[in-house]
């Protein structure tokens, strides 16, 4: 974090986005670099598990159960619908699932975690003023969660060494191009910097 950044206070919430088996294991949606960020995800989760939300991206039983363009999306990715994939693949990876409870799990069917009423309600109930984001994928569900959080006026911090994507180019574009465009509304910090600033 920059030298002028204030510490992260007691109303800070950490959201680890979609750290699920479907992205970690050998599937059409596997994120090859996810294994590289798992140690940092575990360090973050263990630091303040009561202030942790784990999100899960849920897929439909069949493409035709979705609405609008999501039907075309799942026709493009038929192997991840539940008629072709065990539901257990949508589980949070075991190393992180071990923190829930006390961590909370919020399910969603959209890129943004704010598409889940439970996620938004949890932030409201906690009186959150800061949101730390980690997980997958940087350029999809993580970034899609950052934007409405920014609109709500939350302090948003993306953990630069605890996010990744199947597209390394898109991952770097978020951190190097998109994120700097929205400063000071959103900032990037390493896991070490987050842990040092979050007392």
Is 54 among the domain residues? yes
How many other CB atoms are there within 10 angstroms of residue 39's CB atom? 13
At 181, the pLDDT band (50, 70, 90 cuts) reads very high
Specify whether the backbone of 33 is left (phi greater than 0), alpha (psi in -120 to 50) or beta. Answer: alpha
Is 138 among the domain residues? yes
Question: How many domains in the chain?
Answer: 1
Which residue range forms the structural domain that includes residue 20?
Answer: 12-58+90-197
Is 78 among the domain residues? no
* pTM, to two decimals: 0.95
At 5, the pLDDT band (50, 70, 90 cuts) reads confident
Residue 108 is part of a domain; what is its CATH number? 3.40.50.850
Does residue 2 have a pLDDT over 70? no
Is 1 among the domain residues? no
At 106, the pLDDT band (50, 70, 90 cuts) reads very high
Task: Please give the mean pLDDT across all residues of the chain.
Answer: 96
How far is the C-alpha of 53 from the C-alpha of 172, rounded, in Å?
25
| Three-state SS at 94 | helix
Does residue 116 have a pLDDT over 90? no
Is 83 among the domain residues? no
Is 178 among the domain residues? yes
How confident is the model over 42-69, as a mean pLDDT?
97
Is 85 among the domain residues? no
Residue 1 confidence (pLDDT) = 62
At 117, the pLDDT band (50, 70, 90 cuts) reads confident
């Amino acid at each position: 974090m920059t030298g002028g950044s204030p510490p992260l206070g007691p109303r800070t919430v950490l959201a680890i986005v979609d750290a699920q088996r479907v992205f970690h294991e050998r599937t059409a949606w596997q994120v090859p670099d996810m294994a590289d960020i798992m140690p940092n995800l575990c360090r973050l989760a263990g630091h303040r598990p009561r202030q942790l939300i784990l999100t899960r991206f849920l897929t439909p039983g069949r493409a035709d159960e979705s609405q609008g363009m999501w039907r075309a999306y799942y026709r493009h990715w038929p192997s991840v619908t539940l008629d072709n994939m065990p539901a257990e693949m949508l589980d949070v990876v075991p190393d992180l699932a071990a923190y829930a409870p006390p961590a909370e799990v919020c399910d969603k069917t959209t890129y943004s975690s704010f598409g889940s009423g439970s996620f938004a309600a949890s932030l409201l109930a906690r009186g959150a003023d800061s949101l730390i984001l980690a997980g997958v994928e940087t350029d999809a569900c993580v970034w899609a969660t950052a934007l409405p959080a920014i609109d709500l006026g939350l302090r948003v911090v993306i953990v630069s060494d605890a996010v990744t994507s199947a597209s390394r180019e898109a991952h770097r574009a978020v951190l190097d191009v998109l994120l700097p465009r929205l400063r000071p509304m959103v900032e990037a910090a390493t896991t070490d910097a987050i842990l040092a600033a979050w007392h």
